[in-house]
Amino acid sequence: MDVTEASIKKCLQYALRLLSISPRTQSKLEERLKEKGYGVTAVREVMNYLSERKLINDASYARAYVEEMTERKPCGRHRLKYELKRRGVKEAVTEEALSSRDKQSEYKLALELAKERAGRLASIETMKRKKRIYDFLIRRGFDFEVARKVIGDIDED
């Protein structure tokens, strides 16, 4: 199939429009371009162009995603890893983005969330409350041992 200059230009314009709406990973952008019907060669050319000009960069996307989720909807390493993998970020890039999150910061984040949740569940019996908080932390992607430690350290005021 002959890839014309016009089809590459249209593909690039569409890619730039998508990127102006929201940041995307390389694999998700490629997927969108292929879904739109652009040929493999045109997509490859556009992706090379965007990568060379640093308009698409999975490492910066992953770092920004981790920061945003830490601020907006705090969750644990497991959840962040899963979400980044789902978005097509390679595991090495994900690990680099998560390198700032050590066990201590995970614990502090989980403890904050648990205390907030405990306040809402104050009227529930102690064992049920602890179970619900533990389950909540696990669903949010925190490690089992972090969740257990937090449950043991929650103040029973």
The predicted structure's pLDDT at residue 157: 41
Per-residue burial over 57-86, b = 16 or more CB atoms within 10 Å of its CB, e = otherwise = bbeebbbebbeebeeeebbbbbbbbebbee
58-100: CATH, from 1.10.287, 1.10.357, 1.20.120, 1.10.10: 1.10.10
Instruction: Dump pLDDT digits (tens) for 22-46.
Output: 999 999 999 999 999 998 999 999 9
Report whether pLDDT(2) > 90. no
Confidence of residue 113 (pLDDT cuts 50, 70, 90): very high
DSSP helix/strand/coil, 34: helix
Architecture of domain 5-52: Orthogonal Bundle (1.10)
pLDDT average, residue stretch 96-111 = 87
Tens digits of residue pLDDT in 14-23: 999 999 999 9
> Same CATH fold, 103-153 and 5-52?
yes
Architecture of domain 103-153: Orthogonal Bundle (1.10)
Each domain of the chain, given as residue ranges in start order, spans 5-52, 58-100, 103-153
Residue entry with tokens 């614990």 = 107
Residue 74 pLDDT > 70: yes
Amino acid at 147: A
Region for residue 93 given its phi and psi (left: phi exceeds 0; alpha: psi -120 to 50; beta: otherwise): alpha
Q: What is the pLDDT of residue 154?
A: 83
What average pLDDT does this structure show over 102-130? 89
